[in-house]
Amino acid sequence: MEHFFSDGIFRWSDDLYRIYGYERGDVIPSMEMALAHIEPDDRPKVQAFWERVAASGGPSSIYVSIRDRKDRQHKLLFSGDFIMEDGTPVGVWGVVVDLTQSIHSDRRQLATEAVAASARNRAVIEQAKGILMGRTGVSADEAYELMSQQSQTQNKKVYAIAHEIVKRATRQSTELTAPAGP
C-alpha cells in the first residue's frame, strides 16, 4: 500500500484488494472506504495510527479487525512508515498482513491440545474416583465430592488431588507386590 501526500491517492496491491473482497477496478481505495470495513471499535485507533504515521513516520504497526465485502472477519497487521524522496517525506507506504488463517490454525491447535489434556485429566480423575470407591465404599458422585473438598481445602485443582491419589495407590500396590528382600 502506498499513499502520496501530493495526490492523496491510495495505491493497493492486488492482494490487498482481495483481503477486502474486491478486485482491482471494483473500488477506488480511500481512507473512508477502508474505515468503513474496519470494525467499529477499531476505527478510532486506526485513525490515530494513520495520523501518527502520516505526521511522524514510523516504523509503526497496529492490529485491526475488518469485515470484507462478504462480511467475513479478517485479523490484519498494518505496518507503515514514510516514503522518502531526497530526505523529505512524500507519503506513507505500508505492509498489510492477513493473520486470519494463522490465528484460526493456532486456535484449532490450542483447542485440540486442551481437549487432549482434558481427556488425560478426566482419566486420572476417573481412576482416583474408582480407588476411593473401592477403598471407602462411597458412590462415584461422593468420591468426586471428596476430591472437590480436598481441592478447595488445599487450594489445588481436582486433577492434582486425583493425581496424588492415583500415585499413592500405585506406590502402595507396588510395595505390596514387590518381592521380599533376601
Indicate the pTM of the whole model. Answer: 0.55
Are the C-beta atoms of 141 and 152 separated by less than 8 Å?
A: no
Q: Which fold has domain 2-98?
A: Beta-Lactamase (3.30.450)
Domain boundaries, the chain: 2-98, 108-177
Cβ-in-10-Å burial (0-12, 13-18, 19+) of 171 comes to: exposed
pLDDT of residue 117: 72
Q: Which fold has domain 108-177?
A: Arc Repressor Mutant, subunit A (1.10.10)
Give the tens place of pLDDT for each residue, 1-19.
999 999 988 999 999 999 9
Q: How many CA atoms lie within 13 A of 141 on its CB side?
A: 0
pLDDT of residue 58: 82
Give the tens place of pLDDT for each residue, 15-56.
999 999 999 999 999 989 999 999 999 999 999 999 999 999
